[in-house]
Amino acid sequence: MTMIGLEIHCQLTNLQSKLFCSCKANYREFQINENICPICMGLPGSLPRLNQEAVKKATMIAMALNCTTPEKIAFFRKNYFYPDLPKNFQITQLNIYGDTSVGGSGSIMIGDKKIRITRIQLEEDPGRLIYEGSSSKNQITLVDYNRAGTPLVEIVTEPDFETPKEVRAFLNVLSDLLANLGVADPSLEGAMRADANVSIEGEKKVEIKNIGSFHDLEKAVHFEITRQESLHSRDIEIAQETRHWDDKRKITVSSRSKEEDLDYRYFLEGDIPWVRIDTDIHNKLKLEMPESISSKKERYVSKYNIPAQVADVLSSDKFYSDLFEESHTELNAKEVANIITTDLMGLADTREKRESSKLTSKHLRELADAIQSGKISRNSSKNALHAILKTGNDLNTIISELDLGNVSDESELLEIVTSVISDEPKAVDEVKSNPQTINYLVGKVMQKTKGKADPILTLDLLKKQIGI
Amino acid sequence: MNLKISALDFIQEVKTGNISAEDFVAKTMEQIKNVDDKLHAFLSINEKAVDQAREIDKKIKSGVDVGACFGMPISIKDNICIKDSNTTCASKMLENFIAPYDATVITKLKNQDAVFVGKVNMDEFAMGLTTEFSAFGPSKNPWNLECVPGGSSGGSAVSVSAFECVASLGSDTGGSVRNPASFCSTVGYKPTYGLISRYGLISYANSIEQIGPLTRTVKDAAFMLNLVSGIDPNDNTTIDNKNTNYLSGIETGIEGKKIGIIKEMIGDGIDSSVLSATKDAISKLESLGAICEEISLEMIKFSVAAYYTITATEAGSNLARYDNLRYGYDFPLEGYEFNSYISKARRNFGPEVTRRMILGGFVPSAGHAGKYFLKALKVKSKLTKEINNAFKQFDLLISPTVPVLPFKIGEKIDDPISLFLIDINTVTANLTGKPAISIPYAISNGLPIGIQLMADSMNDQLLLRAAYALEQTVKLPEVSI
C-alpha cells in the first residue's frame, strides 16, 4: 500500500508584522534586505517579541482543522547552522516534555476520505537564498533576510494519502480553508510550501523536500511512487533518505547532505514565556471565526436554491463568496451566483486580473437586476461585465455606450420578425408542421439584433405572425 | 573635588549647585586616564562624556526638566548595547561590532540624564569569574594588583571601586555581578529574574541571567533599580513591578525577620577568614533584631553541575549566531563552502567560550540529553521547590558571596573545575530566579570579603532593606589607588 504524508508550511500573510518583531509580514513589496531590524536579523542583544495575533490565527487554523487546542503553548529552539537563519536556530514548537504546540491531533474530510492531522505548529520562516553564477565553480550565494521571521504555520498530516490525486485534492481544500479563514493568501508566491513523505508496500519512508508549488508536489509524489515501485519490482531495497525535487528536470534527487543525521538539540525558548490560551480566548476566537466553506455552501443551496455545484464553486473561493455576500439581495441571489460562476470567474481568472478589476458589488447587483427585469439579455450581460471590469463605469452608461440594451420595443422588433419570416419561407413552413423548430427563427432574430432581442417577446411575435 | 561619593550624594551635590556635572565627569575621566593603565577596567571610553555632562548642566541651569541622574557618570559592561558604540563582549568575534540600537536599560538611563563614561571589561561573553578570559587582557583588583577582580563583570566592579565612575551596570548569570562586587568591595545586586529588561544585553544563558547594578552603597543599588526596572514590551520575560520605589522604607530595619543560614555554603572549602566574617555578620543581624537559624538545602550540592550544564546548552544556542556573516571581524568569505567557512569563522572564540560551546553541543544532544541536560533541568526545578519551601520558613537567606578570598591572576586559570566550584554560593539565585545582593563586609589581609543575602521572588524591597541594615554596621577602609 502506498502511504503519503504531508508537511505543509503556510505563511500567515494577512498579519501586519513578523512573528517576533514589527517588520512587515508582507515582505514581498520590499527591496532586498530592507524589511529587517535588529530582532529578525538576530543581532547581538535582541530578543524575540511574540506577535500575539499570530498565536490567535494559528489557533484558528487548529480549530478549523478540528485539532485539539491546549491551554498553554511553548516555543522551542531548533538549533542548526544555515546562512538563511540569522540566529542559527529557528524558534518553533514541539510536543515534548509535556509542552504542546498550538494544535494537537485533528482531521478533515476530503470528499468521503478522512485525513488525520498530526499537529499544527507556529514558527518563523528563514530568509531566502539567492544563487548566482552558472557553474558550481563560480557560484555565489546571496541572502535576502526580508522573509526571515515571517509567521509560518506548519501543518503535519498522518500518512493517510494513497494517490497524488488525493494529495492535490487535500491541498486545494486546505488552501481554500486558509483563505476563507482570512489568515493567508495562498495564491501569493511562496506563501504555501509542502514536503512529502512517501513509502510503498511497507518499505522505508522517503522524504521529498524543496517543492515549490502544489502542482509540482503532485508531480513529485507521482514521480517518487513510480521510482519506488520500479525499485521494488526489481527487489532493490528503498533507502530511507531525504530527496530534493529538481524543479528543472522534474525528478527527485537524493540529497547528499546528511540532514537525517542532524541533531537539532531542541530545548525551550526561555525568551518567550508560556502563552496561555484559556477557554475564554478559545470561545472568543470561535466567535471571530468566519463562516466555514461547508456552512456557506449549505446556506446558498437551502436559502437561495442555488444549484449545489454552483454553490460549491462559489463558497470555496473567498474572494468571490465575499463579493457574492456584498452584492446579492433576496431576489437576485441566484442570478448573482450565476454571473460570478459562469462569467466573472472566467474573465478574472488570475490574481492580477482580480486586482486590476474595477468591478464593485453595486455593479454586480445592478447587472443581476437588469437581467432579471429583461433590461439586458444574458448574452449581452457578458459584454457589459467585460466593460465594467475594464472601465468601472456605471452599468447604464455602459449599456447605452455599447448599445447593449434589449430590443423590447414591440414595433421595432415586429419589423425584424417580419423580415425574418419573409427571408425564411422554408423554415416558416416547417414551423407550421413542427412548432419545435421555431427556435431556428428566434436565432435568426437574435442574429439580426446582435443578441439583444427580448427573447420572450420575440417568441410571442413570431408565433403571432406565423399564426400558430 | 571628591570623587569618592555615592550616587545619591553626587545627585544632591549637583542639585544644590555645589558641584557641576561637567566638573565631576571631567575629573572622573581624568581618574580613568590616571589609573586605568594599571587596572584595565575599560575597553572603550566615551570621548563625548564631558560634552554630554555640559549639556546636562545647561539643562539644570535653565530649569528644564532634568533626569534623576543629573549627569552621573556610569560605566557599562561591554555586553550591553549602546547605540553607535563598540559592544565587543570582550571577544575577538565581536571586535568590530558597533551596536545599531540601545539596550532598554541604556534608553532608560539616557532619559534620566546619565553619562556613560565607557564600556568595561568582562570575561569573554560573560563566561568566567575572574575577568581573565577577556580577549583583551585581564582587569586587576584595585585592592591588590596581583589579584583577580572577580568576574565576569570585573570591569564594572573595578571601575566602581577605583572611582572611575559612580555606578556601573553588569550582568549576572551565575554570580557575575555579586562575585566581582565581593572581590572589589562594592555592592553588587542581582534583582528578581524579569525585573530588569534584558533587551540589548547580549545573551549568554538567557533563562537565568539578569542585568544588575554595582554601586558604592545599598541605597545606590536601590536607586539604580528604580531607574532601570519595569515591564518592557521588547522583553517578554519582564514583570510589571508597578513602578515600585525601592528606596522607600529602606531604613525601616529588620527586627523580627527570620534569616536562614545556608549550611551548605559555610562548610567544606570555605576560607577561614570568610567563615569568621560570615559568623560576624550573622551576629550583627541578630543584634539588629533578626532571628537567624541554620537551614540545610540538599540540592545545593548539585547546583554547580546543573548550572554549567544549563548555561552551556543555552550558550551553545545563543552564541551560534556568531558566524561572521552579518557582523563581526574582518574575514574574507569568498572561496569557502558553508560548513568549512563556519568552523573557520568561529575560531576567534577564546578558550573558555570554546570549552563551553563544546560542552553545550554535547550535553543536550540526542542520546546524552537524558543523562545531562534533562537531569540539570530536574535539579533546577527541585532546587526551586526547596528554596520556595525555605522562604515559607525564612524571610531571607544568608551566606558568604564567595567562599574564598580574591586569588592571584593566573593561579586558577588552567583549572576550570576549581574555578567552577567557586560559583557554589551564587548560582542558586540564578537557577531559581531569586534576588540576591552582595555587600562589602570585611577586609582580610587587605582583600575584600562580601556577604550575600537572598530573598524570595519580588521581595527585592525587603532584600535591600536587610542589606542596608547590615551595611550600616560596618565601616570599611577605602581602597588606596
Q: How far apart are CA B469 and CA A227, in angstroms?
A: 79
- A77, with CB counted inside 10 A (0-12, 13-18, 19+), is buried
Q: How far apart are CA A349 and CA A366, in angstroms?
A: 22
The string of pLDDT tens digits covering residues A321-379 is 999 999 999 999 999 999 999 999 988 888 888 888 899 999 999 999 988 887 888 88
Residues A15 and A139 in one domain: yes
Confidence of residue A406 (pLDDT cuts 50, 70, 90): confident
Instruction: Tell me if residue B108 is catalytic.
Output: no
Please count the CA atoms within 13 angstroms of the CA of B434 that sit on its side-chain side. Answer: 30
Residues A416 and A360 in one domain: no
List, in order, residues 6 or more apart from A344 with CB less than 8 Å away. Answer: A320, A359, A364, A385
Beta bridge partners of B80: B201
Residues A20 and A105 in one domain: yes
Neighbour tally for A71: CB within 10 Å: 13
pTM of the model: 0.91
Instruction: Tell me if residue B77 is catalytic.
Output: yes
Averaged pLDDT, A451-457? 80
Residues A427 and A382 in one domain: no
Chain A partners within 8 Å of B313 (Cβ): 265, 267
Is B203 in CB contact (< 8 Å) with chain A?
yes
Residues A268 and A297 in one domain: no
Q: How many helices (H) and strands (E) does chain B have?
A: 15, 11
- Give me the residues of B, 220-249, that contact A with CB < 8 A: 233-237
- B453, with CB counted inside 10 A (0-12, 13-18, 19+), is buried
Reported ipTM: the value is 0.95
Residues A59 and A141 in one domain: yes
Residues A203 and A74 in one domain: yes
Asked whether residue B372 carries a pLDDT value surpassing 90, the answer given is yes
Show the cell assigned to A399.
449599456
Q: End-to-end CA distance of chain A, in Å?
A: 67
The string of pLDDT tens digits covering residues B61-110 is 998 899 999 999 999 999 999 999 999 999 999 999 999 999 999 999 99
Give the model's pLDDT for residue A136: 67
CA angle A308, A314, A319 (to 5 degrees): 170
Residue B265 CA, chain-centre distance (Å), reads 20
- Binding-site residues on chain A for chain B (CB distance < 8 A): 38, 41-50, 77, 79, 81-83, 86-89, 140-141, 143, 263, 265, 267-268, 270-273
Q: How far apart are CA B87 and CA A102, in angstroms?
A: 37
Neighbour tally for A283: CB within 10 Å: 10
Averaged pLDDT, B208-216? 98
Which residue on chain B is closest to A90 by alpha carbon?
B317
List, in order, residues 6 or more apart from A427 with CB less than 8 Å away. Answer: A437, A440, A441, A444
Domain final residue pick, A262, A283, A304 = A283
Instruction: Tell me if residue B176 is catalytic.
Output: yes
Confidence of residue A256 (pLDDT cuts 50, 70, 90): low
Domain final residue pick, A366, A401, A436 = A401
For residue A454, give the nearest of A413, A400, A402, A395 by alpha carbon.
A413
Averaged pLDDT, B10-29? 97
Distance to chain A for B296, nearest Cα, Å: 29
For residue B326, give the 3-state DSSP assignment.
coil
- Across A35-49, A221-235, A395-409, B237-251, least confident range: A395-409
Confidence of residue A261 (pLDDT cuts 50, 70, 90): low
Question: Residue A166 — φ and ψ, nearest 5°?
Answer: -65, -40
Q: How far apart are CA B474 and CA A308, in angstroms?
A: 89
Q: How far apart are CA B76 and CA B49, in angstroms?
A: 13
Asked whether residue B273 carries a pLDDT value surpassing 70, the answer given is yes
For residue B32, give the nearest of B22, B21, B43, B20 by alpha carbon.
B43
Q: How far apart are CA B221 and CA B453, in angstroms?
A: 14
Element (H, E) at A144: strand A140-144
Cβ density class B68-107: b for 16+ within 10 Å, e for less: ebbbbbbbbbbbbbbeebebbbbbbbbbebebebbbbbbb
Chain A partners within 8 Å of B199 (Cβ): 45-47
Could you list the residue range(s) of the whole structural domain that residue A443 is in? 410-466
CB-CB contact of A243 with A207 (8 Å):
yes
Q: How far apart are CA B186 and CA B406, in angstroms?
A: 14
Domains of chain B: 1-481 (3.90.1300.10)
Strand pairing category for B396-400 and B258-262: parallel
User: How many domains would you assign to chain A?
Assistant: 3
Residues A201 and A277 in one domain: yes
* Residue whose grid cell is 494513497: A162
- pLDDT above 90 covers a percentage of chain B that reads 91
Cβ density class B115-129: b for 16+ within 10 Å, e for less: bbbbbbbbbbbbbbb
Distance to chain A for B293, nearest Cα, Å: 35
Q: B85, B91, B139, B152: which one is catalytic?
A: B152
CATH number at residue A427: 1.10.10.410
Asked whether residue A429 carries a pLDDT value surpassing 70, the answer given is yes
Chain A partners within 8 Å of B361 (Cβ): 265
Instruction: Indicate the residue of B94, B342, B364 with minimum beta-carbon distance to A44.
Output: B94
Residues A324 and A436 in one domain: no
Residues A169 and A278 in one domain: yes
Instruction: Indicate the residue of B100, B234, B313 with minimum beta-carbon distance to A43.
Output: B100
Contact (CB<8Å) B202/A143: no
Which residue on chain B is closest to A20 by alpha carbon?
B234
Domain final residue pick, A283, A306, A337 = A283
Give the model's pLDDT for residue A259: 53
Chain A partners within 8 Å of B353 (Cβ): none
CB-CB contact of B396 with B454 (8 Å):
yes
- The secondary structure of residue A314, as a DSSP letter, is H
Q: How far apart are CA B400 and CA B269, in angstroms?
A: 12
Residues A185 and A157 in one domain: yes
Show the cell assigned to A316.
470555496
Residues A219 and A264 in one domain: yes
List, in order, residues 6 or more apart from A465 with CB less than 8 Å away. Answer: A414, A417, A418, A421
**Amino acid at residue number A366:** E
